Amino acid sequence: MKTLNPTLLVTIGPTQEPLDAMRLISNRSTGELGTLLALHLIECGHSVIALRGVGSTAESSELFRHCKRVIPFDKTADLKAALENLSAEQPPIAGVFHAAAVCDFSLPSAGTGKISTSEGALTLKLVPTPKLLPLLRGWFPSARITGWKFEASGDRESALAAGITQVRQCATDACIINGPSYGEGFGVLLKSGHLTHVADRKELCNHLAESMQNNSE
């Protein structure tokens, strides 16, 4: 696949936070959408660096074959460090698609042993993990940055409101809104407030690739 356009960065799949040496907490992300997007961007001529969660279950052989680099991550801290390291990439990364599903909580006291369950019920105090999307603009000041907003409660209006808030607070260029609150398909919300509805993942990948191309012209 011939590379014609600037390098893009796609984050893929879930972060995983340990509870002990044997157990972890994560989410249901398979990494499929991020993988499809990365491969489509490559087909369109872009050089793509993929940050891929080790917990991803989506088929990845084509990703490893065609990406400029595939960098694995596990914990949220690993993903944060990898993003910060890539901020020094030269020439600068032109676009960041933050499709990874970052685990919302972690257990600071997670150790290397195994939590005993012999005494029955157990209470663990989880703390929020760092939000990475608000940090991206500082790391990639000239990039076109696209975030994701999955909303499971409320209606489409509240989902769109959450997307608008994300764009404003995180200084991103676009937000992909989906989930039960939004309904079928995806909403592509730009910082201008313009909303485009796309029906499925294939149409979303096409739309994002076209918007990246238009941005570089």
Structural domain contains residue 70: yes
- Mean pLDDT for all residues in the chain: 94
CB 182 within 8 A of CB 209: no
CATH of the domain at 182: 3.40.50.10300
Q: How many domains does one find in the chain?
A: 1
pTM above 0.85, yes or no: yes
Dihedral of CA atoms 128, 102, 124, 107 in degrees, nearest 10, equals -80
Q: For position 216, what pLDDT does the model report?
A: 55
Using CA atoms, how far apart are residues 48 and 60, in angstroms rounded to an integer? 14
Residue-wise pLDDT tens digits, 185-204: 999 999 999 999 999 999 99
In a domain, 72, yes or no: yes
d(CA 46, CA 184): 29
- Name the residue among 211, 179, 181 with its Cα closest to residue 196: 211
- Is residue 111 assigned to a domain? no
What is the number of residues in the chain? 217
Q: Is residue 114 part of a domain?
A: no
Q: What is the mean pLDDT of residues 83-108?
A: 96
Q: Which domain holds residue 92?
A: 5-103+126-216
Query: Does residue 116 sit within a domain?
Result: no
